[in-house]
Structure 1
Amino acid sequence: MTLTFSGSPVGSEVFTALAVLAISLVVLLIIRYYLPLRSTPAYLLVPVFFALWLPACIVILMPIDLASSARTDDEKTRGIWLPDRLLLIWWRITYWLTFTLTWFILPILAEYSDSGYREPRDKILYSLRSNAQYHLMVFGSGIICITYVFIFYGASLYSLKAMVMALAYCWGLALAIYLMGHGLVAIPRRLFRNASISGRLRRIQSHAPTVYEKLEDAEATLEELEVQVFELGKRKTGSAAKFQDWIDDLVDLANLPESQPRHAPRRPPTDDSRILPTVITQKYMADLTRRLVRAKHARIRYLNEWDRLIRSAVQTQAILDSAASKKLDFGDASPHAGFWDRLNLLTPYTRYLTYYHVIPYLSLFAGGFLTLCSLSIVWSELLKAAFPSLSVIRLTVVHHWTGDTGQVGFAGQVIAALWLLYMCAAALTSITEVKVWRGRALVRRNTAHESAFWYASQVARLSVPLSFNFITFLSPEVYTKTMFYHFLGAFIQGTTASTWFDYLFPVLILVPVLATLFGLYGRVRRLFGFGGFDALAAGDDGDEETASRNAYGTGTWREGRDLIERELNGTSLRGRRAENAGLLSGRSAVPVLSVPRVEGRASPSPMRANRPAANTSARRVGATAVREEVPDDENFFEGIGHRFKNTIDTLDTPKWFQELGQGIKKPKWMGGGGEEAGGSGSGSRPGLPGRASSDVRRWFGGGEGRIRL
């Protein structure tokens, strides 16, 4: 099918406009998934939108540039192309806007939102001061590069511009290569391991103790800060008087009437450790506000992670149990579930076939295919400097050769876009896994503003280096003709040092690839005792298998299984504390677990025998009876006694027994007859219910002080 008119780019321009519009809609939906659009300020939405939209446009801009500079002679195979001038303007706007967002706008706004101060002026000053320190360190480390460029290439504006662009590219490439190398192994391995349903459940259970411990730590940290805010709210005089409005805002932010923090422990008068300082300053108030906001977002983050883990465990257990009856039913959807989760189009049998057979085989196929893609990228990185003709990416993108001149058609454009998309996905996925980012995280509908700015800046920072690294996989006869190379490549390869860096540094992709493939992070962590260093634990799934072979109670899958079952049964210690504190009421603003109770294979508590099980397993479809389990330390006679007691407790009283005695009525002369006797049918005095009358004059038909003879 011909997508362009002969000699005119009108069809390509229309296609490009529709593609850009579709990308804008997707980016807006992504932002909506992590941030509430109505309550999020515009100073956050607009920069974050452009920081995500510009890298997404590069995925289609790069293939268009390749096809425009190396158009095929046959119009039927010609791809989407645009004029050179339009491409050059587009690249200039994309690069410099991305550069400005990455190095200036987003960092300033991130520190502005995380400053903790109350007034905008104080926030701006704090942000400028923090970013000035960072840029001074960067400038200090770049003095050697400036001296090198000015000595060998002369002091000029062109040399300064080339140095700035080359340094920005080198820093972005170093981060991109590490993250991409980690993702190229982690993504296929995750697909392979998810193909095993029992293995997936075991990994979920092994991960549960870590998440639960982090959630408890986050709640304890938040509670300590709420105690400080509570004590600060009781101060009405002294240095705290001038910050009274600020203190009231902190009390409202901490939700103290709902969360009910514990009072501070009493300390001896000679103890130097105090909850509050003697003099309340503006710096202390800003630091307390900053720590309180971070603690609240950390708690929401781990609540969300724990909620997703519980739901995954419930669904995986249901899939595993459906092998017996060949039927699968997940039960009713949660009120907080999305549209696709509430959509129910499959029958129980087709759902069983889909989740038990089809999806695992698709995971294996996708894992194998992405493994080949990862090997091709690593192979191309290693050989692009010495043997560029052996690059797999070059052979798949450039299909048409006329002598030494290569041409890129529509099929090559599509393949190039997919290669670039997979490289970006591998790098961006690793950002959320390698947790060395000061507790930042993406949380559905509750992402902190500072975290949103930071992640958006990383997406913008990695897009341009990955794009230029991608085109170097192709033949020099192809990529040197692109507008992207004329705009950026000439500056990057303008010096001998940057040229060698561009060709030799990507070889180091073997370091993160081998480290992730053979579990080097976990071995280093165990060797040096970095138990709390999450960067070394990220992506090291081998630790979960090692932990499953350890003893009970040391963070194994058995402990995770018990934690999940207690959470589902409502018997966990954290759940009882939260219920007593009022956090599970409708007024709570934090996410609440709404997973149906399910029946597991084992329970550490005898209370489980008295709780009904939800229909989330195929073995329990149509069953309403409660399965009772006998504890291991219970003998035969105790078991009979417990069963007899449960039978008596659940026995309904017969109706004839409830109505026994209601058929015998008192005679009217004894106070019976209801309203005619002026009583309640039991001899009670009018106006005094439930009180028997002791007046004998009523026996003779008298009342109100009169006796009838």
Structure 2
Amino acid sequence: MIEVAATSSPVASIVFAVLALLVISIVVLFILRYYLPLRTTPAELLIPVFFALWLPASMVLLVPIDLASSALTDDIAARGIWLDRDTLRVSWRIVYWLTFALTWFILPVLGEYFDSGYQEPKDKVVDSLRANAQYYAIVFGSGFIALLYVLYSYGGFSDSLKGTVMALAYCWGLALAIYLMGHGLVAIPRRLFRNASISGKLRRIQAQAPKIYEKLEDAEMALEDLEAQVSELSRRKGGSVTVFQDWIEELVDMTNLPESGPSTARVIPGSGDTNKSLPTVITEKYMADLTRRLVRAKHARSRYVSEWNRLLQDAVITQAILDSAASKKLDFGAASPTANFWNKHTILTPYTRFLLHFHIVPYLRIAMGGFLTLASIFIVWSEVIKGLFPNLSVIRYSVIHHWQPTGSSTPAKVAALVGENNGQVGFAGQVISAVWMLYMCAAALTSITEVKVWRGRALVRRNTAPESAFWYASQVARLSVPLSYNFMTFLGGIYRETVFYDFLGQLIDLTSLGERFDHLFPAFILVPVCATLFGLYGKAKRKIGFGVDVIDDDDDDGEGRTVYGTGSWREGRDLIERELNGTSAAIRGRRAEAAARIGGSRAAPILSVPGSQRAAGPTTPLGTSPNARPGVSTSARRAGASSSRIQDDDEDEGFFGALGHRFRNTIDTMDTPKWIQDIKKPKWMGGDDDDDGSSRPSQARANSDVRRWFGGGSEGRIRL
């Protein structure tokens, strides 16, 4: 590459870069405000998370500037936003090493610090370091082995230590980024295609309802168990409890238990374990563990409440759009007090809103899904062939253009400037490269939120747990550098002229193993792409044996998979309608059940089969606050009526007994067709032709011998 001396000052580029960083800062603050309450969030949480998001976002700006600055031309009009190499080198050092420190040291330690149940800061720091000890042992052990390999291959020690650390961090981040990005490149366009069908979207929402509601109830019961344990602990007097009296009072303030509760309980159900009593001697470790579990349980309940409320809102909105096909008018009702500005103020009439949501939006989703499908294909193609045929990369030709010389240029200069590796990146190429990077990052980060991670971490609107915020921020920081450098390798030989390559790329290519890994490993993106495209995750779960209680979203065709323990879309439909039409009496019933469990006499789970007919009632408008859970009338696992209780007398039931019970459930819950109801039973079968036969079929079915074949009786009970 021929370096052309700059004849103009980059003052305009510096101003543009500063304004762009200011815009990025505002966007990051809005993201933090969406997931965290800024006024009540401590600075030691807010500042690290802010920089963990701001630094990766600045790389989306820094990479295009580095590309344009490495290939300047004499034509000032052809230049994009550029900076001198010294400024870029300092910027890359600051961004990279701050991101490295946040990813591997600061965020993990702070995450465990906020998750610790101890009260004193010193105890929290020690507990955090102890929790991260195994993690650091694995990291440092792997780094030591890699350092020995680099010393053997390179034969020197001048750059071996720094190169090994940077190369290992890059390789681990690249492996994670390739897997997550491969999943997201398929999931994002497919979600757009699926949501283009309004009825299909509603069916999938209804199929997810039983599973989410069951998790919500489990989280509520786990929280109630811990609150009962705190209540029992507060009743103890004397002994080791007096040392932690202030601590116990703080735990009581964290719970939602009434001040006057039953005082006869001594055996408390453990969270997720068998019943166990409180320890005889209360220690500091026990108090810290109880505090940690209580905080996690509160955040878990908040998470599933948020998911359930969001599902209810999506169900109501989708149902309203689907029902508007008859009236040609669409009205979502009164906006929630917590709704944003665009939901509170609209200029659309009910008819134009119907046209937008029923006709225009589905086609826009199909068009966007097709566009992103092509983008995903181009990214996967570039990953696969960049190590063997880099000139065939589609992304390269969309970003790089060759400078067209003027008539005064000499032939030698023209030949040099239009060479293979002398492409130029103008302002349009910088914008396109930023868009490519944003889509790659979005694909990877979307997959993080969908993957079921350990300890139930999740992002909750305005109520994200501190440990979850640190964990997700560390994943964003960990993926930013590998994705940025991986994108630059799509561009052929021009990326070797950048400052980023001088800073990081040379250390990755320090050994032949690192160079081959960087060029060949991205081809493994075909594994997550094929696994997501053909639903191999769900098939593997069912083969191994985990599919009995899992609904595979990848294989979901809109009809809902009937799986024992989760229900179907019909059950979800009835559950959503019962939830939207809940009454205050049902809420009092649930509070009574919670009080009974606090007293140590928890009742056995009550199973109910939801009715097949849809509950009648007006559609609930979207005036529900997303932070307040609607009233609950019944549950997929628990009902208020005592007649629906199930007493399973046979603890070891055989296969044929279970099969008979399921046959009986199917028969008892079937709706009798209209043409069968019109048939009157003749006299020789015990009927009376003169009587009205409209109610006979149900009575005959209740007294038929078929019920007795499958374990039925005259009470009409259903055993599961």
Q: Which residue of 2 aligns with 1:320?
A: 322
Q: Distance in 2 between matches of 1:390 and 1:491?
A: 26
The one-letter amino acid paired with 1:492 is I
Among 412, 415, 438, the residue aligned to 2:429? 412
CA 1:551 to 1:454, structure 2 compared with 1: closer, same or farther past 3 Å? closer
Question: Is 1:377 matched with 2:389?
Answer: no
Q: 1:459 is matched with which residue: 476, 501, 508?
A: 476
Aligned to 1:368, what secondary structure does the other structure show? Answer: helix
Residues 395 and 613 (structure 1 numbering): CA distance in 2 closer, same or farther, change over 3 Å? closer
For residues 292-371 of structure 1, the aligned pairs below 5 Å read: 292-371=294-373
522-531 vs 32-41, which moves further: 522-531
Q: Measured at CA, do residues 212 and 576 of structure 1 come closer, stay the same or move farther in structure 2, by a change above 3 Å?
A: farther
The amino acid of 1:557's aligned partner reads W
1:191 and 2:203 correspond: no
Q: Tell me if the contact between 2:489 and 2:495 (Cα under 8 Å) persists in the aligned partners.
A: yes
Q: Does 1:604 align with 2:611?
A: yes
1:638-678 CA distance string (max 9 Å, x none): 999xxxxxxxxxxxxxxxxxxxxxxxxxxxxxxxxxxxxxx
CA–CA separation in structure 1 for the residues paired with 2:564 and 2:542? 19
Report the more deviating stretch, 120-129 or 299-308: 120-129
| CA deviation string 1:350-390 (max 9, x = no partner) | 10011001110100000000000000000000000100000
Counterparts of 2:692 and 2:117, CA distance in 1: 60
Which residue does 1:662 correspond to in 2? none
Q: Deviations over 1:216-253 (max 9, x none)?
A: 11111111111111111111211111011111111111
Does the 8 A contact of 1:201 with 1:313 survive in 2? Answer: yes
* Larger mean Cα displacement after TM superposition, 447-456 or 550-559: 550-559
How many angstroms apart in 2 are the aligned matches of 1:254 and 1:382? Answer: 54
* Whole-angstrom distance in 2 between the partners of 1:163 and 1:544: 44
Aligned residue number for residue 390 of structure 1? 392
Contact 2:78 2:426 in 1 (8 A): yes
Q: Structure 2 vs 1, CA of residues 561 and 150 (structure 1 numbering), >3 Å: closer, same or farther?
A: same
Structure 2 residue identity aligned to 1:90: S
Provide the residue aligned with 1:430 in structure 2: 447
In 2, Cα distance between the equivalents of 1:351 and 1:60?
A: 37
Query: Per-residue CA shift, 1:565-620, capped at 9, x if unaligned?
Result: 0001106998555566899xxxxxxxxxxxxxxxxxxx9399955x555578xxxx
Q: Following the alignment from structure 1 to structure 2, what is the Cα–Cα distance between the partners of residues 472 and 31? A: 32
Q: Distance in 1 between matches of 2:348 and 2:425?
A: 43
Task: Give yes or no for the alignment of 1:556 onto 2:568.
Answer: yes
Distance 1:267 1:486, change over 3 A: closer
Partner of 1:440: 457
Conserved 8 A contact 1:567-1:575 = no
Query: Residues 220 and 301 of structure 2 are in contact (CA less than 8 Å); yes or no, is this contact kept in structure 1?
Result: yes
d(CA) in 2 for partners of 1:221 and 1:379? Answer: 48
Corresponding residue to 2:512 among 496, 508, 516? 496
Cα 1:259–1:290, aligned 2, differ >3 Å: closer, same or farther?
A: farther
The residue type equivalent to 1:362 in the other structure is L
What's the TM-score once normalised by structure 2's chain length?
0.78
The change in CA–CA distance for 1:261 and 1:523 in structure 2 (over 3 A counts) is: farther
What is the CA–CA distance in structure 1 between the aligned matches of 2:24 and 2:692, rounded to whole Å?
Answer: 67
Question: Cα–Cα, structure 1 residues 410 and 258, in superposed 2: closer, same or farther, change >3 Å?
Answer: farther
Structure 2 counterpart of 1:338, one-letter code: N
DSSP 3-state at the match of 1:40: coil
Please point out which of 455, 476, 485 is paired with 2:501.
485
Identity %: 66
- Report if the CA contact (8 A) 1:72-1:409 is conserved: no
Contact kept, 8 Å, 2:549 with 2:563, in 1: the verdict is no
Give the residue type in structure 1 aligned to 2:118: Y
1:205–1:560 Cα contact (<8 Å) kept: yes
Distance 2:134 2:20 in 1: 41
CA shift for structure 1 position 267: 9.2
Residue 505 of structure 1 pairs with residue 521 of structure 2:
yes
* C-alpha contact 1:229 1:251 (8 A) present in aligned 2: yes
Contact 1:258 1:581 in 2 (8 A): no
The structural deviation recorded for 1:160 is: 0.7
Aligned-pair distance for 1:212?
0.6
**Equivalent residue for 1:702?**
none
Q: Structure 1 residue 139: deviation in Å?
A: 1.5
Q: 1:150 to 1:605 in 2, by over 3 A?
A: closer
Q: 5 Å matches for 1:236-275?
A: 236-257=237-258, 264=265, 274-275=276-277
| Residues 48-59 of structure 1 aligned to structure 2 (within 5 Å) | 48-59=49-60
Equivalent position SS for 2:423? strand
Give a deviation string over 1:418-471, Cα, whole Å, max 9, x none. Answer: 001100000001000011232000000000000000100100000000001000
Letter in 1 for 2:354: Y
Partners of 1:273 and 1:201 in 2: how far apart? 41
Asked if residue 165 in structure 1 is aligned to residue 166 in structure 2, the reply is yes
Deviations along 1:108-158, whole A, 9 cap, x unmatched? 100000011111110011112222331112222333212111222235241
Q: 1:344, CA displacement in angstroms?
A: 2.2
For the residues of structure 2 that align with 1:397 and 1:262, how far apart are their CA atoms?
A: 72
Structure 2 residue aligned with 1:63:
64
1:687 counterpart residue number: none
Alpha carbons of structure 1 residues 472 and 263: separation in structure 2 relative to 1, 3 Å: farther
For 2:407, the equivalent position in structure 1 comes to: none
Give 3-state SS (helix, strand or coil) of 1:305's partner: helix
Query: Aligned partners of 1:406 and 1:98: how far apart in 2?
Result: 30
> Structure 2: any 5+ residue segments left out of the alignment?
1-5, 404-417, 596-609, 623-669, 679-690, 695-720
Which residue of structure 1 lines up, in the alignment, with residue 121 of structure 2?
120
Partner SS for 1:274: strand
Extract unaligned runs of 5+ from structure 1. 584-602, 617-630, 641-709
How has the CA–CA distance of structure 1 residues 639 and 615 changed in structure 2, closer, same or farther, with 3 Å as cutoff? farther
Matched, 1:568 2:601: no
Deviation string 1:471-517 (CA, Å, 9 cap, x unpaired) is: 000111x1011111111111111111111110111111011000000
SS of the residue 1:400 aligns to: coil
Q: What one-letter code is carried by the residue in structure 2 that aligns with 1:346?
A: L
User: Relative to structure 1, is the Cα distance of residues 291 and 393 closer, same or farther in structure 2, using a 3 angstrom cutoff?
Assistant: same
Instruction: Name the residue aligned to 1:688.
Output: none
Whose radius of gyration is greater, 1 or 2?
A: 1
Q: Secondary structure, in 3 states, of the residue corresponding to 1:256?
A: coil
SS of residue in 2 equivalent to 1:257: coil
Q: Distance in 1 between matches of 2:593 and 2:44?
A: 36
Q: Partner of 2:313: helix, strand, or coil?
A: helix
> Any conservation in 2 of the 1:236–1:244 contact (CA below 8 Å)?
no
Take 1:327 and 1:262, find their aligned partners in 2: how far apart are those partners? 57
Tell me how far apart the structure 2 counterparts of residues 250 and 7 of structure 1 sit (CA, whole Å). 65
User: Residue 407 of structure 1 aligns to a residue in which SS?
Assistant: coil
Cα shift at 1:552: 9.7
Aligned position for 2:648: none
* RMSD of equivalent CA atoms: 3.0
- 428-437 or 197-206: bigger deviation: 428-437
Instruction: Give TM-score, length-normalised by structure 1.
Output: 0.79
C-alpha separation between the residues in 2 aligned to 1:492 and 1:154? 16
CA contact under 8 A between 1:181 and 1:510: conserved in structure 2? yes
How many residues of Structure 1 are paired with residues of Structure 2 in the alignment?
595
Please give the alpha-carbon distance, in whole angstroms, between the structure 2 residues aligned to 1:181 and 1:573: 49
**Offset at 1:549?**
5.6
2:486 pairs with one of 423, 444, 469: 469
Partner of 2:636: none
